[in-house]
Structures are given as structure tokens and as C-alpha cells.
Amino acid sequence: MHVDTIKIGIVIPIYLSKFIKETVSNLLHVNSRDDLVICVVNDGKDDVKEYLSKHMWPSNVDIVNLPENKCFAGANNAGWKHLVQNYPNIEYLGSINDDVIARAGWIDNIIEALEKYPKTALGMPIMETNQGFFRTKKNFATWKLKGSDEMVPTAYKIKEDTFVSAVNGFCFVVKKDPLLKAGMLDEQFRNGCEDVDLGIRLLLDGWRMVVCKNAFVYHYGGSSRYVPGTNTNLDMNHKILADKWNHNIEKFNNLDAEGFLI
């Protein structure tokens, strides 16, 4: 792998080790790209650091061990900074949870959409889940902002790439320059709402965000965010988001027909 050929960097922020080998193996299996690097960021856990050190990782997998817990925002930011510093020609940065299984073609379709639609900064896949009493398959495609501090699903199936106002942080890819200009993720947040906040800032900077009709990932969901030691604080997150945007994020749903904020 030559550093000058790397165009895409995906961060996997982790607090537990139980999913990471499967997640990395899956990402490498469903992607044949030679311009992709994966950055696993250990969010301050000594036992995870030891686990990662004992495993032989492929040449296109970087390991970053944080000295302390920085939560989702801080771990992603640290990974992105590492990628920008070490791969001078990188163009796209992304994040994927360690409890996500990507389907074939997911990243190609997101990158294709980001290149196809002008002034589109961020792309997301459709999320597959098993929910309900019978654990039946259910998709979540698009989301919108609600009230002062929430996001809610709006469509479970889409026939076309769809521009949206809300980011779901379980998996996304973003162009490097808009992300850096926006300041990356706000580290005030503790495992929640930082994705919504980033989307609002990208919209305010004049960018669009798209959900790709042919990009799919499966999300187990909620597997590590709530374990002891992660410093998750949902009440605080929602208060920060509401206060930051004057207790009205619904106004950022006002997109024109081309997906730009009105």
C-alpha cells in the first residue's frame, strides 16, 4: 500500500473488542478498492489496546489508541486527524460503528453519489435492522429533525437517491474539505446528537447530504454505547443540541427541491 494512492479513510471507533475483527474482515471482504484505508480507534481502554496489539492487521488497517475515553466524537476526530496527517491525498473520510455489517457495494455507491451530485458533502447508506417481537427485518432509509433535539425516521424504502436534513452517525462518508471546514464533530457531545449537529453545520455551509438508494448496511444497534465507562449522557446531549440551535432544529428540514437549505 502506497500512502499517495489512498483516497478514502474509514474510522471505526471502538470501546469493546468483541466486534472489531468481524467488522474489519467484513469491510475488507465487501470492498475491493485499493484506495481505502481503515483506521480502528480504541477509545481509551487498556484491555482493548492489548487485544489489538496481539492481532496481525492487514497493511491497510491502522490502529490508534487514545490515552483516555473521548466518546464517539473525540474518537472519530482523532481517527480523521490521523488519516489526514498520514495520507496526503485523502479525499473522503468516513465512520462506521463496530456493530455494523456492510453489504457489497455500499462504499462505491456512496462515493458515486458524492461525485455525481454537486455540492454534496455527506452520503449515507440505508440501515437494515431486526426489530420488533418477532425480530423481523426492517429498513430505515431517511430521517428528519424533530422539535428541539430529536431525529425521526421518515421513509423505510427509497427508489431514488434522496437528499436529507439529518445525519445518522452509525455509518457515513463525507468529503474531507467540508468536514474539516465544519470543524469535524463537536466533542461537547457524549455519544449522541453529534451526528445531527454535524449535519446542521454542513447544511449551513451550503452543502447537501444524500442517502444512497443502493447502499445498505446491517446495524445491530446499541451494543456498546451504554456499557459502563463510555461516559454516555443522553440527557446532556439533547440539552446541548437544543441550546446550541435555539431550541428549534426543525427549521433545518426546510430544503429546496435540490436538497439545499432554504
Q: Which domain holds residue 154?
A: 3-253
259 located within any domain = no
Q: How many other C-beta atoms lie within 10 A of the C-beta of residue 259?
A: 19
How many whole angstroms separate alpha carbon 112 and alpha carbon 64?
A: 29
Per-residue pLDDT tens for 145-200?
999 999 999 999 999 999 999 999 999 999 999 999 999 999 999 999 999 999 99
Contact between 213 and 168 under an 8 Å Cβ cutoff? The reply is: no
Residue 222, in any domain of the structure:
yes
Dihedral class, residue 229 (left if φ above 0, else alpha if ψ from -120 to 50, else beta): left
> Would residue 15 count as lying in a domain?
yes
Asked if residue 184 is part of any domain, the answer here is: yes
| Cα maximum dimension of the chain | 51
Residue 92 domain flag: yes
Calpha distance 51→53 (Å, rounded): 5
Taking the CA atoms of the chain, what radius of gyration do you get in angstroms? 17
- Please state the pTM of the whole predicted model: 0.95
Residue 131, C-alpha cell as written in the block:
426489530
Higher pLDDT, 39 or 138: 39
CA distance 9 to 86: 11
Q: How many domains does the chain have?
A: 1
20 or 131: which leads in pLDDT: 20
- Residue 222 pLDDT greater than 70, yes or no: no
Domain-embedded: residue 258: no
Domain holding 42: CATH number?
Answer: 3.90.550.10
Residues in contact with 222: Cβ distance below 8 Å, sequence separation at least 6, in sequence order: none
- Asked, for residue 19, whether it belongs to a domain, the answer is yes
Judge contact between 225 and 98, C-beta under 8 A.
no
Beta carbons of 40 and 15 less than 8 angstroms apart: no
Confidence band for 250, pLDDT divided at 50, 70 and 90: very high
260 in a structural domain: no
Facing residues of 42 across strands?
14, 65
- Kindly provide the residue ranges of all beta strands, DSSP E only, lying in 132-251, ordered along the sequence: 136-140, 142-146, 150-155, 162-163, 171-175, 208-219
